[in-house]
Amino acid sequence: MTQADSEHAYRGQNYEELAPLFVEFAGLDKTDRRHAELRDRLVTEHLPIAQHIARRFSNRGEAQEDLIQVATLGLINAVDRFDPQRGVDFLSYAVPTIMGEVRRHFRDTGWTVRVPRRLQERHLSISSAISTLSQNLGRAPTPSEIAGHLGISRDEVHQGLEAGNAYRSSSLDELLSDTDEIPLGDAIGSSDTELDEVENRAAIRPLLEELGERERRILVLRFFKSMTQTQIAEQIGISQMHVSRLLARTLSWLRERIEVDVPPEPVKD
Amino acid sequence: MVEVRVVADPEQLPVMRAVVGDLAMRADFDVDTIADLRLAVDEACSSLVRIAAEQSQLVGRFRAENDVLEFTAEVNSPDASGPRKNTFSWRVLSALSDNVASSVQESEEHADGHVVRIQLSKGRMVHE
């Protein structure tokens, strides 16, 4: 490795001394204990780079800790995939890799538009107000009831509800609920019977099976069991706004898939 | 009454969703009804966009009165058959609305064209 010093420096920090470790690391078998040791060290020593990149993406509506975690994941991938034989130094490989990971995070799980922190917090407080009020009232609350409960204006509630729609699969929601293991129960069995009335069921059924358990369950409860979003939210243990987003996402996914997979069927009367 | 005209393209659907969401919030419908209306408008418009003639407009008409929100969407389509009722999509629409219907009419503006409409309505939930 004979690159100039500047290529091993990032924000005044020089990482040149780590370069030989990459050569050793690349030559080790993954089962070798030294491999794990070196991997730890390489990741730890380069952490300031991941943290710096995460900071560059802050104020975009994601929690700083989440961003650092994602950037660190990018760094780990970079350490694992870096090939010192290619003649490129680690930094020029790692920085775009980490940035790519963070960007992907925003694309996949973040707000689809930039939503100020203040609105996100309002979104969260409205979300929990909906849950509290639903339990007290035995039904979904209206925006004016939410406004009264939180002591904010109707307009602010509108903004918060609207902001909720700009959020895709949300890490905040994921944090608030633990829904990995949802027993399917008899929901799917009965959906099959209900599906019998549906003409394109042959196309729908395999698509339903492709859905995550939670998405499928929500779909069945809403469209075949006539449960309201609030009731589903309570049963599954996530917020009503989250149910709403998952339904929107699932329906749009199904539409795309049905469109692609099934040519229009012949018209029949 | 609010009328929105956009190009019949899936990219334009957020506009329709936003309008219905806003009207439903202003009418102080409960959050379930607001969310269902958004999904229903999305589903209805998506079905129509799929059968719309090229260059067709998607017209959405919204009316909120007497505790009911009514929505009508229409496109021009070369197809005279209209949306089919025994599909998953129609099932979704029916579950999300109180009433849903479709109609097909010969177009006055386009030779061989048809105006295909989906109308739906949803009222404030009655709570005892």
A39 and A23 assigned to the same domain = yes
Whose CA is closest to B21, among B42, B5, B7, B3?
B42
- Give the contacts of A117 (CB within 8 A, at least 6 positions apart): A59, A61
A25 and A102 assigned to the same domain = yes
Per-residue confidence (pLDDT) for residue A62, from 0 to 100: 61
User: Which one is predicted more confidently, A1 or A196?
Assistant: A196
Q: How far is the C-alpha of B21 from the C-alpha of B29, rounded, in Å?
A: 10
Q: Is A240 on the interface with B (CB under 8 A)?
A: yes
pLDDT at A262 over 50: no
Is the predicted pLDDT of residue A263 greater than 70, yes or no?
no
| Phi, psi dihedrals of residue A58, rounded to the nearest 5° | -75, 175
Token pair of A67, please? 């961003």
Q: Do B33 and A140 touch (CB under 8 A)?
A: yes
Q: How confident is the model at residue A103 (pLDDT cuts 50, 70, 90)?
A: confident
Residues A161 and A206 occupy one common structural domain: no
Residue B70 near chain A (CB below 8 Å): no
pLDDT, greater one: B116 or A263? B116
Residues in chain B: 128
* One domain for residues A11 and A102: yes
The answer as to whether A172 is a domain residue is no
Same-domain pairing of A72 and A26: yes
One domain, residues A7 and A57: yes
Average pLDDT over residues A126-139: 91
CB contact under 8 A, B18 and A240: no
> Distance (Å, rounded) from C-alpha B122 to C-alpha A158?
20
Residue A39 has pLDDT above 70, yes or no: yes
> Residue A266 domain-assigned?
no
Q: Residue A146: its pLDDT value, please?
A: 97
User: Quick check: A115 pLDDT over 80?
Assistant: no
Q: Do A69 and A160 sit in the same domain of this protein? A: no
How confident is the model at residue A183, as a pLDDT? 33
Is residue A184 predicted with pLDDT exceeding 50?
no
* Any domain includes A137: yes
Per-residue pLDDT at A175: 31
Helix, strand, or coil here: A219?
helix
C-alpha distance from B85 to closest chain A C-alpha (Å): 9
A175 is a domain residue: no
> pLDDT tens digits, residue range A47-87?
999 998 888 777 655 667 778 888 898 899 899 889 888 88
Mean pLDDT within A106-127: 69
Residue A267 within a domain:
no
Domain stops at, among A167, A182, A204: A167
* In a shared domain, residues A21 and A43: yes
Q: Is A190 helix (H, G, I), strand (E, B) or coil?
A: helix
Q: Which chain B residue has its CA at the smallest distance from A244's CA?
A: B35
Number of domains into which chain A is organized: 3
Task: Specify whether A15 is located in the same domain as A93.
Answer: yes
CA nearest to A75, candidates A87, A56, A61, A93: A93
Chain B CB within 8 Å of residue A233 CB = no
- Output the pLDDT for position B53: 92
Distance from CA of A8 to the nearest CA of B (A): 45
Question: Domain ends where: A66, A92, A110?
Answer: A110
CB of B48 within 8 Å of a chain A CB? The answer is no
Q: Which of A61, A88, A110 is at the close of a domain?
A: A110
Residues A200 and A220 placed together within one structural domain of the fold? yes
Q: What pLDDT band is residue A195 in, cutting at 50, 70 and 90?
A: low
Secondary structure (H, E, C), chain B: CEEEEEECCHHHHHHHHHHHHHHHHHCCCCHHHHHHHHHHHHHHHHHHHHHCCCCCEEEEEEEEECCEEEEEEEEEECCCCCCCCCCHHHHHHHHHCCEEEEEEEECCCCCCCEEEEEEEEEECCCCC
Q: Considering chain A, what is the average pLDDT of its residues?
A: 77
- Chain B residue with Cα closest to A147: B28
CB contact under 8 A, A229 and B32: yes
Shortest CA distance from A226: residue in chain B: B95
Among partner residues A141, A199, A248, which is closest to B86 by beta-carbon distance?
A199
Q: Is A165 on the interface with B (CB under 8 A)?
A: yes
Boundaries of domain holding A44: 3-110
More confident residue, A240 or A189: A240
CATH of the domain at A57: 1.20.120.1810
Asked if the C-beta of B39 comes within 8 angstroms of chain A's C-beta atoms, the answer is yes
Q: How far apart are CA B98 and CA B100, in angstroms?
A: 7
> Are A82 and A139 in a shared domain?
no
pLDDT at B44 over 90: yes
In this prediction, residue A148 has a pLDDT band, given cuts at 50, 70 and 90, of very high
pLDDT band at A208 (very low <50, low <70, confident <90, very high): confident
The CATH number of residue A125's host domain is: 1.10.10.10
Does residue A183 form part of some domain? Answer: no
d(CA A37, CA A52): 24
- Domain shared by A122 and A99, yes or no: no
A140 touches chain B (CB under 8 A): yes
Tell me which amino acid residue B81 is: S
